[in-house]
Amino acid sequence: MTTLGDDLLRTVNKLQDLVFNTIGNDSLDLPQIVVVGSQSSGKSSVLENIVGRDFLPRGSGIVTRRPLILQLINIPPDDDSGSDRDEARIPHTAASVEEHAEWAEFHHLPGRKFRDFNQVRAEIENETARIAGNNKGINRQPINLKIFSPHVLNLTLVDLPGLTKVPIGDQPGDIEKQTRTLISEYIAKPNSIILAVSPANVDIVNSESLKLARYVDPLGRRTIGVLTKIDLMDHGTNAMDILSGRVYPLKLGFIGVVNRSQQDIQTNKPMSEALKSEAEFFRHHPAYRNMATRCGTHYLAKTLNTTLMAHIRDRLPDIKARLNTLMGQTQQELASYGSKQFSGKEHRGSLILQLMTRFATAFISSIDGTSSEISTKELCGGARIYYIFNSVFGNSLETIDPTHNLSVLDIRTAIRNSTGPRPSLFVPELAFDLLVKPQIKLLEIPSQRCVELVYEELIKICHTCGSTELSRFPKLQGKLIEVVSDLLRERLGPTSGYVESLISIQRAYINTNHPNFLGAAAAMSSVIASKNEKDKKASQAEEKRKREKRMKQIGMNGNATPEDEEAEQEDKSATLPVRKHPAIPSRSMSPAVARDRENGMPGAGGAAGAAKDSFLNYFFGKENERQLAGAPFLAPSGAAARHVSHSVEPSFAQSMRRLERGSFTEHRQPAYPPPMTDEYAQSEYGESPLFPEQNAEPVLTDREALETELIRRLISSYFNIVRETTADQVPKAVMHLLVNHSRDEVQNRLVSELYKEELFGELLYEDDGIKKEREKCEKLLATYKEAARIVGEVL
Ligand code: GDP
Ligand code: MG
């Protein structure tokens, strides 16, 4: 054992002290000796022998249930203080010094010196039970114990729970796995030397410890084999094959030991005596006599020491590198808490200004998408605003059905109301106006929602603008968020007001002259086209039925009745809704038709003489001057120009109605009341003439059906135009009035609200938790620096 070796070990122990005991973790992975073996193989006994003290709880059951990190510190014989261990001399195992020269200290009981090693054992038991419970469970939290003694070599040893196969007591079913994992964790560190304990009275091929050790150290470079219970081997057998390395190859070899037996323990055989008799055992044993100097606890301790030393020398460069990394990391962490000096007035002001500016910049860059901390998990900031505009807002506009809330009745009522007391000549644009305006209002809810969503997103953004440094000053952070939130809230009103106006503006003037507006003509022709399609089918079926009926009647009395003629006339008209017809009311016109003409369209009736009257004119009025907003609304397109005499329409409609109701024959049935009666009118409209809306079933005249459908199409067309404009304008307004405005204003606002000297003290109140973290970090850094200094001294 060289002085250099001692220096090394002292260094490591110092580091161990520093790192383990100041910081409380083993981030440095310092070299240590880890004892592994199956339960009752003698691990604790070996450790005790190395220490030369009887202090570990031992027995036949599972006794070691938490890792025990045992630091042996050699002290000069008369040094009782333990403070100056640099003067440690080469230790001697002979118990030549006073008992009181030795003591133990637990990390969990700082400052308390245990001189009675029975108490040390009791404390280990207590502390084990405290964390691992009273039953047989194990726990991974280590117990740290230091032993100061002139009799020990500087070593760091770890005692671990033994490997077991069968769970006992309260042990969980996976106790074997748990133990195995815990052991593997300790021995897997390249900085640990594995003391693989196997009892000599059990076949070495069954050694669990060697199996585990081989797993993490396949070349056997850092594994020392310890063969216990050599005294318990069968008579006539010995462990020479193993000890000489012929059975199982380990670079560091096998060392045989004889620990105290259970009986020795019970009879309190002193440790010194046990060591003596161990030495005797090897010296006199016929098989081991010749290698007695390479057997026993003393030799094991020396081997461990030198091995550990060599190992430390090997690891030192790594430790240095590791220290550097740790220092760098800690420095960085410390920097994230910000600088410590902010006590001076100038300092405080500039610190606040700095934090404020950083906050504002983070806010702006998050909106602009230039933030360095862009999340890959979810959309945030500007991208999220874009998403709100395009997907959320866009979709909610798209899904509005512009006429779904308009029933046929609503439209008809609007048409009727818009004509006032006077029956209309044409589909009144007033009805279109009346109906389309409330529909435009449907755009307002999604538009306002869009404003709110963007507002909420901005609020969210301002909550994420803090840094670690800022979180150190919770008051300041809170104030920054508050001021920005206020700013945003201020903008919410004007923005939402503007958006409201955007919709109102759209409602203020219905521009039917818009180039994209479908126009009455196009709408009409499309309505007619689809209606023709329907009518054709219906009338074909009717024609057939009628023919059959006539054939039957002819068969009965040989000539057609006037009613038949009338029916024929009507039915013909049903097949020709857009065909030219005699303009003058026919003789066969039903009284109901006459009433229709009087009530519904006398104006049209007045124009009936004009044979050129188109269906369109019929609906929209003849005078071109009546065109509401210009050509598109009225200009007859090629398709819409197919002329139909208005005078025909009522009878056509009537026949349609009859057709629909299946009451084709009612006119010819004398039992039915005459068509002119009120009841007839009532049945015509499906409602009481006095209370027009009381009946649920709307029965539309054909004209009404057409008008309704036409209006519906016009509303859809116009609504689409407004929808497009809204989808375009709302995001622009929100960007301008809310987003960009707050973005541009944020820095000024923060400064004017918060940069006030009287506020500095309050704003820079430091969060206790963060303060502690920072102080801890500072301490850590100091420790690492000290460790680096210690390591630096050695090399
Ligand atoms: P651990 O569970 O691996 O820590 O084993 P212990 O150190 O607690 O020892 C288990 C039992 O074996 C104890 O009763 C010891 O007295 C006994 N024992 C350990 N080593 C030896 C030895 O070398 N010789 C004899 N005779 N008994 C031993
Ligand atoms: Mg044990």
pLDDT at 693: 45
Ligand 1 midpoint to CA 42 (Å)? 4
* Ligand 1 atom closest to the CA of 197, numbered from 1: 3
* Cα 730 to averaged position of ligand 1 atoms, centre (Å): 84
Calpha distance 632→640 (Å, rounded): 12
Cα–Cα distance, 202 to 41 (Å, whole number): 9
Closest CA to 124 of 176, 51, 70, 162: 70
Mutate to test the pocket of ligand 1, among 45, 195, 277 (most ligand atoms within 8 A of CB): 45
- CA 758-761-763 angle, 5° bins: 95
For residue 678, give the 3-state DSSP assignment.
helix
Query: How much distance in Å is there from the Cα of 148 to the middle of ligand 2?
Result: 21
127 in Cβ contact with 109 (< 8 Å): no
> Which residues of the chain are modeled with pLDDT < 50?
1-4, 80-98, 558, 560-695
- Of 66, 186, 187, 68, the residue nearest 138 (C-alpha): 66
According to DSSP, residue 52 is labeled T
The ligand that comes nearest to the alpha carbon of residue 36 is 1
Cα 683 from Cα 661, distance rounded (Å): 10
Q: Say which amino acid occupies 435.
A: L
Within 10 Å of residue 646's Cβ, how many Cβ atoms?
24
pLDDT at position 484 is 93
| Helix (H) or strand (E) run with residue 213 in it | helix 208-216
Inter-residue contact 197 to 43 (CB < 8 Å): yes
Instruction: State the Cα–Cα distance between residues 378 and 238, nearest whole angstrom.
Output: 70
Contacts of residue 20, defined as CB under 8 A and 6 or more positions apart, other chains included, come to 26, 30, 69, 107, 144
Residue nearest to atom 14 of ligand 1 (CA): 262
Q: Which secondary structure element, helix H or strand E, spans residue 69, and what is its range?
A: strand 68-74
pLDDT of residue 667: 38
Q: Which two tokens stand for residue 166?
A: 């069968």
Give the binding-site residues of ligand 1, using a 6 Å CB cut-off: 37, 39-45, 58, 60, 63-64, 162, 228-229, 231-232, 258-262, 265
Take residue 278 and report the two structure tokens written for it. 């161990």
Predicted confidence at residue 495, as pLDDT, reads: 95
Taking the CA of residue 63 as reference, the ligand 1 atom at the shortest distance is: 2
- H or E stretch at 627: none
Residue (of 397, 438, 488) closest to 729 by Cα position: 397
pLDDT at position 496, please? 94
Give whole-number Cα distances, 299 to 225, 238, 279, 555, in Å.
13, 19, 10, 136
* Residue 265 CB-density burial (10 A; 0-12 exposed, 13-18 middle, 19+ buried): middle
What pLDDT score was predicted for residue 763? 84
Backbone angles phi, psi at 193, to 5 degrees: -95, 130
Closest residue by CA, ligand 1 atom 17:
261
| Ligand 1 midpoint to CA 188 (Å) | 25
Q: How far is the CA of 203 from the centre of ligand 1 (A)?
A: 16
Which residue out of 47, 58, 281 has the highest number of ligand 1 atoms within 8 Å of its CB and is therefore the one to mutate? Answer: 58
pLDDT at site 521: 73
- Shortest-distance atom of ligand 1 to CA 37: 3
Cα–Cα distances in angstroms (integers) from residue 179 to residues 133, 139, 533, in the given order: 16, 9, 85
Tokens for 332? 């960085």
Task: Report CA(58)–ligand 2 centroid distance (Å).
Answer: 6
- Alpha carbon nearest to ligand 1 atom 27, residue: 261
Q: Whose CA is nearest to atom 24 of ligand 1?
A: 229
In terms of residues, how long is the chain? 795
Among positive and negative, which fits the CA dihedral 6, 12, 16, 19?
positive
Which of 20, 212, 12 shows the shortest CA–CA distance to 110? 20
Which pLDDT value is given to residue 689? Answer: 41
- Tell me how far the alpha carbon of residue 268 lies from the centroid of ligand 1, in angstroms: 14
Please name every residue paired with 305 in a beta bridge, in sequence order, or none if there are none.
Answer: none
Contacts of 787 (CB under 8 A, 6+ apart): 15, 18, 19, 28, 323
- From the list 171, 69, 74, 56, the residue with the least C-alpha distance to 119 is 56
Q: What is the separation of C-alpha 624 from the centre of its chain, rounded to a whole number of angstroms?
A: 64
Query: Which residues sit opposite 311 in a β-bridge?
Result: none
For 205, other C-beta atoms within 10 Å of its C-beta total: 10
What are the C-alpha distances in Å from 528 to residues 576, 631, 705, 706? Answer: 12, 19, 11, 8
| Cα distances (angstroms) measured from residue 550 to each of 539, 543, 556, 560, 573 | 16, 10, 10, 8, 18
Looking at residue 721, its pLDDT comes to: 93
Q: Buried b vs exposed e over 496-514: b needs ≥16 C-beta within 10 Å?
A: bebbeebbeebbeebebeb
Instruction: Please give the distance, rounded to the nearest whole angstrom, from the Cα atom of residue 159 to the centre of ligand 2.
Output: 7
Distance of CA 285 from the midpoint of ligand 1 (Å): 20
Q: How many CB atoms lie within 10 A of CB 199?
A: 22
- Candidate of 34, 35, 39, 40 to mutate for ligand 1, largest count of ligand atoms within 8 Å of Cβ: 40
